[in-house]
Amino acid sequence: MEYNIKDRRLSKDGYKRIEWAETKMPVLRLIRERFIKEKPLKNKRIGCCLHVTTETANLAMTLKAGGAKVFLTASNPLSTQDDVAAALVEEGISVFAIKGESRSEYYHNMNQVIKNQPEILIDDGADLISTVHKKKVKGIIGGTEETTTGVIRLKQMAKDNVLQFPVIAVNDSLTKHLFDNRYGTGQSTIDGILRATNILISGCNFVVAGYGWCGKGLAMRARGCGANVIVTEVDPIKALEARMDGYQVMPMIEAAKIGDIFITVTGDINVIRKEHILKMKDGAIIGNSGHFDVEIDKNGLKQITRRKRMLREFCEEYTLKNGRRIYLLAEGRLVNLAAAEGHPAMVMDMSFANQALAVEYILKSSDLENKVYSLPLEIDQEIARLKLKSMGIKIDKLTPEQERYLASWELGT
């Protein structure tokens, strides 16, 4: 079996951590139990480009339990957990990923997955799907996409009429973005900041750039830690929402002067630029939890820097020509996955239940066109039902009278 990982001997630790995550992933476990019996993915070759974490390991093992042959590469050069990669190789899953790999190694590893002729792709950020399109790879039945950034890229491909197979936008499922993006990003970003810096968040000015679901979760958790939260936005509705949720809202150039910590979660490029950094206080911390490392203009930062040094793991000090010190976390890459472990298993349970069911859905549906689809609402609701059940939570049912009322338009005042 082919693989490219740091060290197979790390597998023992990986196994234990994967087992721990599994205890927090009851919905995925139920799907795995069914997959073992039904083998809906029998002999299918699945190529995955995902963060190589304990949660992804549980997804990969679920796909394998369904009969698939699984090939896995990392969706970020800094997010791989090397012990998990080692355990997966012991499980017969071909992993090509090493934490800290260079950009060229990242694409080399991705190409190892492509060389193995996957029929289904599971992507996080759309690098794998865009690469197979550029290389004109044949034989792919369909794909799934995990994240907001990837879905935006894929919808653009569909609009430009270049998409060569159907893709399920897993991020569009309510049981994905309402929980993973909000509670997952919120908690894991704080976790990454703390592991990289050990700062006290209470009492600081915490600037959140972008008020999508990730920004909402992060702002909520930062406030919970006692920060004064400032939101920057370009969308007037989201800006208004942030204000009415109780946060200060202002342009980045204003926030730059007063912020202590700045985290970008916009999905866009150069959100924190030279002109902002030049206004920042001595000691300001900047980081990113959006998918790509493009949200902080690192080139601009270098241009105004006199010297830099690594002060702590994932915390690099840039001394500017104006004498102030700025601290960049995790090279501007996803701080929650580079400096911490990504979202907790409890929330990835729903995201990856969606992924496993999306793969099954593609194989069952013969009428999909080369478009971006959401999973049917019934699948989304079933995942929520199972999650509630696993948490021991019961809910009410509509009475027949209530159902009739909702289906009628005649009744009014």
> Which residues make up the interface to ligand ADE (CB under 6 A)?
50-51, 53, 55-56, 184, 337, 342-343, 348
Strand order in the sheet with 228-232: 248-249, 228-232, 205-209, 261-264, 284-288, 325-329, 315-320, 305-312
**Is residue 296 a contact partner of residue 276, using CB atoms and an 8 Å limit?**
no
| Closest distance to ligand ADE from the beta carbon of 60 (Å) | 11
Please report, to the nearest 10 degrees, the dihedral formed by the alpha carbons of residues 319, 325, 331, 335 taken in order: 170
- A 10 A CB-CB count for 114 gives 20
Closest contact distance (angstroms) between CB of 215 and ligand ADE is 15
State the minimum distance, in angstroms, from the CB of residue 76 to ligand ADE.
Answer: 9
Contact assessment for residue 355 and residue 29, using Cβ atoms and an 8 Å cutoff: no
Instruction: Look at the block and give the residue holding tokens 């957990």.
Output: 81
Least Å distance, CB 169 to ligand ADE, is 16
Residue with Cβ nearer ligand ADE (276 or 291): 291
Of 55 and 297, the one with the shorter C-beta distance to ligand ADE is: 55
CB of 359 to ligand ADE, least distance (A): 16
For residue 213, give both structure tokens: 């679901």
Residue 207 or 348: the one with the smaller Cβ distance to ligand ADE is 348
Smallest separation (angstroms) from ligand ADE to the CB of 352: 8
Query: CB-wise, 196 or 230, nearer to ligand ADE?
Result: 196
Smaller CB separation from ligand ADE, 188 or 205: 188
Q: With respect to ligand ADE, which residue has the nearer C-beta, 70 or 326?
A: 70
| Residue 207: strand pairing partners | 230, 262
Cα separation values, 109 from 86, 280, 330, 367, Å: 15, 38, 21, 33
Q: What is the largest CA-CA distance in the chain?
A: 73
Please say which residue, 142 or 186, places its beta carbon nearer to ligand ADE: 186
Based on CB atoms, which residue is closest to ligand ADE, 96 or 247? 96
Rounded to 10 deg, the angle between the 127-134 and 103-115 helix axes is: 70
Q: Which residue pairs from 31-37 have beta carbons closer than 8 angstroms and sit at least 24 positions apart in sequence?
A: 31/62, 31/353, 31/356, 31/357, 32/61, 32/62, 32/65, 32/66, 32/356, 35/62, 35/63, 35/65, 35/66, 35/67, 35/356, 36/65, 36/66
Minimum distance between the CB of residue 59 and ligand ADE, rounded to whole angstroms? Answer: 8
The per-residue DSSP string of 215-238 comes to: HHHHHHHHHHTT-EEEEE-S-HHH
Q: Token digits for 225?
A: 């830690």
Cβ 411 to ligand ADE, closest distance in Å? Answer: 46
Q: List beta partners, residue 143.
A: 121, 167
Contact 343, 184 (CB under 8 A): yes
Name the phi and psi angles at 292, rounded to 5. Answer: -105, 160
What is the nearest approach in angstroms of ligand ADE to the Cβ of residue 281? 30
- Taking the least distance from each CB to ligand ADE, the nearer of 153 and 276 is 153
